[in-house]
Amino acid sequence: MTAESKRKFKQELFAYFLLTVGSALFAIGDVMFVNPYLMAPGGTYGLSNVFNTLWPWKISLYAICMDVPLLIIGTWILGPKFGIKTIVSTALIFLFTFILESTWGYNPVIHDGAISQVADASMVEIPHNGGWFSPDYFLNTVVAGLIYGVAIGLIFRSGATSGGSDIISMILHKYTKISLGTLVMIVDGIITLSTLVAFGDIRLPIYSVIIIFIEGKVINLVVDGMKSYRTMFIITDDPEPIRDFIINGLKRGGTCITGSGLYKGNERKMVYVTLDRSDMLKLRSALHTIDPNAFVNIMESSEILGTGFRALPTE
Protein backbone atom coordinates (compact mmCIF):
# COMPACT_ATOMS: atom_id res chain seq x y z
CA MET A 1 0.00 0.00 0.00
CA THR A 2 1.43 3.37 -1.03
CA ALA A 3 1.75 6.36 1.30
CA GLU A 4 -1.10 8.09 -0.55
CA SER A 5 -3.33 5.01 -0.17
CA LYS A 6 -2.54 4.83 3.55
CA ARG A 7 -3.39 8.50 3.97
CA LYS A 8 -6.73 8.09 2.17
CA PHE A 9 -7.51 4.96 4.19
CA LYS A 10 -6.87 6.83 7.46
CA GLN A 11 -9.03 9.73 6.29
CA GLU A 12 -11.86 7.39 5.39
CA LEU A 13 -11.54 5.50 8.68
CA PHE A 14 -11.66 8.79 10.60
CA ALA A 15 -14.71 9.88 8.57
CA TYR A 16 -16.59 6.72 9.57
CA PHE A 17 -15.53 7.29 13.19
CA LEU A 18 -17.07 10.78 13.05
CA LEU A 19 -20.16 9.32 11.40
CA THR A 20 -20.58 6.72 14.15
CA VAL A 21 -20.09 9.21 17.00
CA GLY A 22 -22.44 11.71 15.36
CA SER A 23 -25.14 9.08 14.85
CA ALA A 24 -24.87 7.94 18.48
CA LEU A 25 -25.09 11.54 19.75
CA PHE A 26 -28.14 12.18 17.57
CA ALA A 27 -29.91 9.19 19.12
CA ILE A 28 -29.00 10.41 22.64
CA GLY A 29 -30.31 13.88 21.91
CA ASP A 30 -33.57 12.60 20.50
CA VAL A 31 -34.41 9.85 23.00
CA MET A 32 -33.11 11.45 26.22
CA PHE A 33 -33.78 15.15 25.63
CA VAL A 34 -36.21 15.89 22.79
CA ASN A 35 -38.78 13.09 22.99
CA PRO A 36 -39.48 13.27 26.77
CA TYR A 37 -40.43 16.94 26.35
CA LEU A 38 -42.79 16.17 23.44
CA MET A 39 -40.78 18.39 21.07
CA ALA A 40 -40.19 17.93 17.34
CA PRO A 41 -37.34 20.05 15.93
CA GLY A 42 -37.89 19.01 12.31
CA GLY A 43 -36.86 15.92 10.38
CA THR A 44 -38.32 12.44 10.28
CA TYR A 45 -37.25 11.85 13.89
CA GLY A 46 -39.10 14.97 14.98
CA LEU A 47 -42.27 13.67 13.36
CA SER A 48 -41.57 10.23 14.84
CA ASN A 49 -41.50 11.79 18.31
CA VAL A 50 -45.04 13.08 17.80
CA PHE A 51 -46.25 9.70 16.47
CA ASN A 52 -44.51 7.90 19.35
CA THR A 53 -46.45 9.90 21.93
CA LEU A 54 -49.82 9.74 20.18
CA TRP A 55 -49.62 6.08 19.12
CA PRO A 56 -46.92 4.33 21.18
CA TRP A 57 -44.45 2.55 18.90
CA LYS A 58 -40.69 2.90 18.80
CA ILE A 59 -39.31 6.19 17.41
CA SER A 60 -36.72 4.30 15.40
CA LEU A 61 -39.36 2.16 13.68
CA TYR A 62 -41.48 5.18 12.75
CA ALA A 63 -38.38 6.96 11.41
CA ILE A 64 -36.99 4.07 9.38
CA CYS A 65 -40.43 3.53 7.81
CA MET A 66 -40.15 7.11 6.51
CA ASP A 67 -36.40 7.28 5.79
CA VAL A 68 -36.13 4.20 3.56
CA PRO A 69 -39.00 5.17 1.21
CA LEU A 70 -37.69 8.75 1.09
CA LEU A 71 -34.21 7.55 0.09
CA ILE A 72 -35.70 5.31 -2.63
CA ILE A 73 -38.04 8.02 -3.94
CA GLY A 74 -35.27 10.62 -3.72
CA THR A 75 -32.88 8.45 -5.71
CA TRP A 76 -35.58 7.75 -8.30
CA ILE A 77 -36.56 11.42 -8.79
CA LEU A 78 -33.29 13.23 -8.07
CA GLY A 79 -30.76 10.62 -9.14
CA PRO A 80 -28.02 9.00 -7.05
CA LYS A 81 -27.22 12.03 -4.89
CA PHE A 82 -27.17 10.07 -1.65
CA GLY A 83 -23.82 8.37 -1.09
CA ILE A 84 -23.07 5.27 0.91
CA LYS A 85 -22.29 7.36 4.00
CA THR A 86 -25.81 8.79 4.06
CA ILE A 87 -27.20 5.25 3.95
CA VAL A 88 -24.79 4.17 6.72
CA SER A 89 -25.78 7.20 8.78
CA THR A 90 -29.49 6.38 8.38
CA ALA A 91 -28.83 2.79 9.49
CA LEU A 92 -26.63 3.80 12.46
CA ILE A 93 -29.07 6.40 13.78
CA PHE A 94 -31.86 3.81 13.54
CA LEU A 95 -29.70 1.23 15.38
CA PHE A 96 -28.57 3.56 18.18
CA THR A 97 -32.08 4.97 18.66
CA PHE A 98 -33.60 1.47 18.79
CA ILE A 99 -31.04 0.31 21.38
CA LEU A 100 -31.42 3.43 23.50
CA GLU A 101 -35.22 3.46 23.60
CA SER A 102 -35.20 -0.30 24.32
CA THR A 103 -32.81 0.08 27.28
CA TRP A 104 -33.21 3.63 28.59
CA GLY A 105 -36.83 4.17 27.60
CA TYR A 106 -38.07 7.74 27.15
CA ASN A 107 -37.19 9.14 30.55
CA PRO A 108 -35.74 12.67 30.60
CA VAL A 109 -32.21 13.36 31.83
CA ILE A 110 -32.97 16.94 32.89
CA HIS A 111 -36.02 17.69 35.04
CA ASP A 112 -37.00 19.43 38.28
CA GLY A 113 -38.83 16.56 39.92
CA ALA A 114 -38.49 12.80 40.25
CA ILE A 115 -40.38 10.65 37.76
CA SER A 116 -43.06 8.61 39.48
CA GLN A 117 -46.32 6.86 38.74
CA VAL A 118 -48.17 9.20 41.07
CA ALA A 119 -48.08 12.87 40.18
CA ASP A 120 -47.14 15.43 42.82
CA ALA A 121 -49.91 18.01 42.76
CA SER A 122 -47.36 20.80 43.28
CA MET A 123 -45.54 19.96 40.04
CA VAL A 124 -46.03 21.37 36.56
CA GLU A 125 -46.42 17.94 35.05
CA ILE A 126 -45.85 16.23 31.72
CA PRO A 127 -47.24 12.70 31.48
CA HIS A 128 -44.98 10.35 29.57
CA ASN A 129 -44.74 6.56 29.47
CA GLY A 130 -47.08 6.21 32.41
CA GLY A 131 -44.96 8.48 34.63
CA TRP A 132 -44.81 12.16 35.49
CA PHE A 133 -42.03 14.71 35.78
CA SER A 134 -41.64 18.41 36.36
CA PRO A 135 -39.96 19.86 33.25
CA ASP A 136 -37.02 22.23 33.03
CA TYR A 137 -37.79 23.41 29.50
CA PHE A 138 -35.05 25.98 29.00
CA LEU A 139 -32.04 23.98 30.21
CA ASN A 140 -33.22 20.87 28.40
CA THR A 141 -33.72 22.87 25.19
CA VAL A 142 -30.21 24.33 25.33
CA VAL A 143 -28.59 20.94 25.97
CA ALA A 144 -30.69 19.27 23.24
CA GLY A 145 -29.66 21.94 20.73
CA LEU A 146 -25.99 21.51 21.62
CA ILE A 147 -26.13 17.72 21.31
CA TYR A 148 -28.06 17.86 18.01
CA GLY A 149 -25.64 20.45 16.64
CA VAL A 150 -22.52 18.44 17.49
CA ALA A 151 -24.16 15.24 16.18
CA ILE A 152 -25.23 16.61 12.80
CA GLY A 153 -22.01 18.62 12.49
CA LEU A 154 -19.96 15.43 12.86
CA ILE A 155 -22.17 13.65 10.35
CA PHE A 156 -21.63 16.50 7.87
CA ARG A 157 -17.88 16.47 8.57
CA SER A 158 -17.81 12.77 7.69
CA GLY A 159 -19.19 13.51 4.23
CA ALA A 160 -22.73 12.24 4.83
CA THR A 161 -25.94 14.23 4.39
CA SER A 162 -28.95 14.35 6.68
CA GLY A 163 -31.41 12.80 4.20
CA GLY A 164 -34.80 12.31 5.85
CA SER A 165 -37.26 15.16 5.41
CA ASP A 166 -34.63 17.18 3.50
CA ILE A 167 -35.32 14.86 0.55
CA ILE A 168 -38.90 16.17 0.48
CA SER A 169 -37.52 19.71 0.24
CA MET A 170 -35.15 18.70 -2.56
CA ILE A 171 -37.99 17.10 -4.55
CA LEU A 172 -40.22 20.16 -4.08
CA HIS A 173 -37.31 22.38 -5.10
CA LYS A 174 -36.97 20.49 -8.37
CA TYR A 175 -40.59 21.17 -9.37
CA THR A 176 -41.38 24.52 -7.69
CA LYS A 177 -38.02 26.31 -8.08
CA ILE A 178 -38.49 27.76 -4.60
CA SER A 179 -35.09 28.05 -2.88
CA LEU A 180 -33.99 24.90 -1.08
CA GLY A 181 -33.32 26.80 2.15
CA THR A 182 -36.88 28.18 2.16
CA LEU A 183 -38.37 24.75 1.51
CA VAL A 184 -36.31 23.15 4.31
CA MET A 185 -37.65 25.79 6.72
CA ILE A 186 -41.23 25.21 5.51
CA VAL A 187 -41.04 21.41 5.84
CA ASP A 188 -39.33 21.53 9.26
CA GLY A 189 -41.70 24.31 10.35
CA ILE A 190 -44.73 22.14 9.56
CA ILE A 191 -43.18 19.26 11.52
CA THR A 192 -42.44 21.59 14.43
CA LEU A 193 -45.98 23.00 14.43
CA SER A 194 -47.37 19.46 14.56
CA THR A 195 -46.60 19.46 18.30
CA LEU A 196 -49.01 22.36 18.79
CA VAL A 197 -51.75 20.53 16.88
CA ALA A 198 -51.08 17.22 18.65
CA PHE A 199 -50.58 18.43 22.22
CA GLY A 200 -52.11 21.93 22.30
CA ASP A 201 -49.13 23.53 24.06
CA ILE A 202 -47.69 26.66 22.41
CA ARG A 203 -44.38 26.21 24.27
CA LEU A 204 -43.52 23.05 22.37
CA PRO A 205 -43.05 24.56 18.88
CA ILE A 206 -41.32 27.61 20.38
CA TYR A 207 -38.75 25.49 22.22
CA SER A 208 -38.38 23.28 19.14
CA VAL A 209 -37.46 26.37 17.10
CA ILE A 210 -34.89 27.35 19.74
CA ILE A 211 -33.35 23.87 19.43
CA ILE A 212 -33.13 24.33 15.65
CA PHE A 213 -31.46 27.74 16.09
CA ILE A 214 -28.87 26.48 18.59
CA GLU A 215 -28.32 23.37 16.47
CA GLY A 216 -27.58 25.49 13.38
CA LYS A 217 -25.00 27.62 15.19
CA VAL A 218 -23.23 24.57 16.63
CA ILE A 219 -23.22 22.80 13.24
CA ASN A 220 -21.38 25.79 11.76
CA LEU A 221 -18.79 25.63 14.56
CA VAL A 222 -18.25 21.89 14.14
CA VAL A 223 -18.06 22.00 10.33
CA ASP A 224 -16.13 25.26 9.86
CA GLY A 225 -14.18 25.39 13.13
CA MET A 226 -13.87 28.11 15.74
CA LYS A 227 -11.66 30.38 13.68
CA SER A 228 -13.52 33.19 11.96
CA TYR A 229 -12.20 34.74 8.76
CA ARG A 230 -13.01 38.04 7.05
CA THR A 231 -12.41 38.97 3.42
CA MET A 232 -11.51 42.63 2.81
CA PHE A 233 -11.83 44.48 -0.49
CA ILE A 234 -9.90 47.74 -0.24
CA ILE A 235 -10.20 50.22 -3.13
CA THR A 236 -7.36 52.74 -3.05
CA ASP A 237 -5.30 55.11 -5.21
CA ASP A 238 -2.07 54.05 -3.49
CA PRO A 239 -1.90 50.33 -2.70
CA GLU A 240 1.81 50.21 -1.76
CA PRO A 241 1.51 51.26 1.93
CA ILE A 242 -1.38 48.80 2.35
CA ARG A 243 0.65 46.06 0.64
CA ASP A 244 3.60 46.77 2.91
CA PHE A 245 1.44 46.56 6.06
CA ILE A 246 -0.18 43.28 5.00
CA ILE A 247 3.11 41.59 4.01
CA ASN A 248 5.46 42.96 6.68
CA GLY A 249 3.08 43.87 9.48
CA LEU A 250 0.63 40.96 9.33
CA LYS A 251 2.87 38.42 7.54
CA ARG A 252 0.04 37.60 5.18
CA GLY A 253 -0.48 37.69 1.41
CA GLY A 254 -3.17 39.09 -0.83
CA THR A 255 -4.01 40.10 -4.37
CA CYS A 256 -3.98 43.52 -6.03
CA ILE A 257 -6.56 43.93 -8.78
CA THR A 258 -6.71 46.79 -11.29
CA GLY A 259 -10.11 48.23 -12.17
CA SER A 260 -11.86 51.44 -13.09
CA GLY A 261 -14.49 53.47 -11.29
CA LEU A 262 -17.99 53.51 -12.76
CA TYR A 263 -18.55 57.23 -12.20
CA LYS A 264 -15.44 58.85 -13.72
CA GLY A 265 -13.78 55.81 -15.25
CA ASN A 266 -10.52 56.49 -13.40
CA GLU A 267 -8.19 53.56 -12.86
CA ARG A 268 -8.30 52.25 -9.29
CA LYS A 269 -6.48 49.51 -7.41
CA MET A 270 -8.33 46.98 -5.26
CA VAL A 271 -6.53 44.95 -2.60
CA TYR A 272 -8.18 41.59 -1.93
CA VAL A 273 -7.10 39.89 1.29
CA THR A 274 -8.53 37.25 3.66
CA LEU A 275 -7.58 37.48 7.35
CA ASP A 276 -8.64 36.10 10.69
CA ARG A 277 -10.62 38.42 12.93
CA SER A 278 -7.67 39.82 14.90
CA ASP A 279 -5.60 40.65 11.78
CA MET A 280 -8.65 42.16 10.10
CA LEU A 281 -9.10 44.51 13.06
CA LYS A 282 -5.42 45.50 12.89
CA LEU A 283 -5.63 46.31 9.18
CA ARG A 284 -8.92 48.15 9.53
CA SER A 285 -7.45 50.28 12.29
CA ALA A 286 -4.23 50.93 10.34
CA LEU A 287 -6.15 52.07 7.24
CA HIS A 288 -7.20 55.21 9.09
CA THR A 289 -3.56 56.30 8.99
CA ILE A 290 -2.34 54.54 5.83
CA ASP A 291 -5.16 55.67 3.53
CA PRO A 292 -8.08 57.49 5.18
CA ASN A 293 -9.76 57.88 1.74
CA ALA A 294 -9.83 54.13 1.00
CA PHE A 295 -13.15 52.41 0.35
CA VAL A 296 -13.38 49.16 2.33
CA ASN A 297 -15.85 46.27 2.09
CA ILE A 298 -15.53 43.55 4.76
CA MET A 299 -17.37 40.25 4.40
CA GLU A 300 -17.52 37.14 6.56
CA SER A 301 -15.99 34.10 4.87
CA SER A 302 -17.51 30.74 5.74
CA GLU A 303 -14.78 28.58 4.20
CA ILE A 304 -11.23 29.40 3.06
CA LEU A 305 -9.23 26.79 1.17
CA GLY A 306 -5.70 27.00 -0.18
CA THR A 307 -2.17 27.98 0.84
CA GLY A 308 -2.06 29.46 4.34
CA PHE A 309 -5.51 28.12 5.23
CA ARG A 310 -7.18 24.71 5.06
CA ALA A 311 -5.90 22.37 2.34
CA LEU A 312 -8.00 21.82 -0.74
CA PRO A 313 -9.95 18.53 -0.67
CA THR A 314 -8.30 15.68 -2.57
CA GLU A 315 -11.63 14.41 -3.91
Q: Partners of 233 in the beta sheet?
A: 272, 297
The residue among 224 and 99 whose pLDDT is bigger is: 99
Please provide the CATH number assigned to the domain covering 229-301: 3.30.70.120
User: What mean pLDDT is reported for the chain?
Assistant: 83
CB atoms within 10 A of CB 273: 21
Q: Any idea where the domains of the chain sit in the sequence?
A: 3-224, 229-301
pTM for this model (two decimals):
0.75
In this predicted structure, the answer to whether residue 110 has a pLDDT above a threshold of 80 is: yes
Q: What is the pLDDT of residues 47-86, one digit of tens each?
A: 999 998 889 899 999 999 999 998 888 888 877 766 788 8
Q: What is the pLDDT of residues 135-157, one digit of tens each?
A: 888 999 999 999 998 998 888 88
Q: For the chain, what percent of residues have pLDDT higher than 90?
A: 23
| pLDDT score, position 121 | 47
